[in-house]
Every structure is written in C-alpha cells, then in structure tokens.
Amino acid sequence: MPYCTYILYSPSTDKYYIGHTVDIDDRLRRHINSGSKSTKHSNDWELKYSKEFIDRASAMAHESEIKKKKSRRYIEYLISSAG
C-alpha cells in the first residue's frame, strides 16, 4: 500500500501543515473535521502537495526533511514545483 507525504494550507490562518498518511482523502476529511490537535483551529484546510512513496519509512523521512528546513519558502517551492 503506498504512503504519501502531504502539505495542507489554511487560508483563514495562513498556515501550512505537513504530514504523512496511507489514505490522503480520509486524512484530509479528518483534518477538516478537527481530527488533529494541530489542525483543529481551522476547517478550511486545502491539499496543496502530495508525494507518494512505496513505504511508510520513506514518507516519514520526506515529512521530516520538510519540517527540519523550518522554511515557508521551501514549502512554497515544493508546492509550486509539483504543479
């Protein structure tokens, strides 16, 4: 089963959220419906980026790589280059 790393964006809070999952549609629905402590402050999350991997370890490593950069510019670069 493929895993993916994803980036969500909330226009109302102007924030990004980075995560990984095996079912992106279900995970997005749960984020919108307060399914996560980190995203419960908004219900307008939009999927801006996703990248599939063959295993969870690879998806987690990519998520960690994005988060370690602590860079909004890098996140926006990933989003623009994926489109």
The domain that holds 9 is classified in CATH as 3.40.1440.10
Contact 16, 8 (CB under 8 A): yes
Give pLDDT tens digits for 2-30. Answer: 999 999 999 999 999 999 999 999 999 98
Query: Residue 67 is part of which domain span?
Result: 3-82
The Cα 60–Cα 26 span in angstroms is 18
pTM given for the model: 0.92
Q: Quote the pLDDT of residue 68.
A: 96
The Cα 40–Cα 78 span in angstroms is 24
State how many domains the chain has: 1
Confidence of residue 83 (pLDDT cuts 50, 70, 90): low
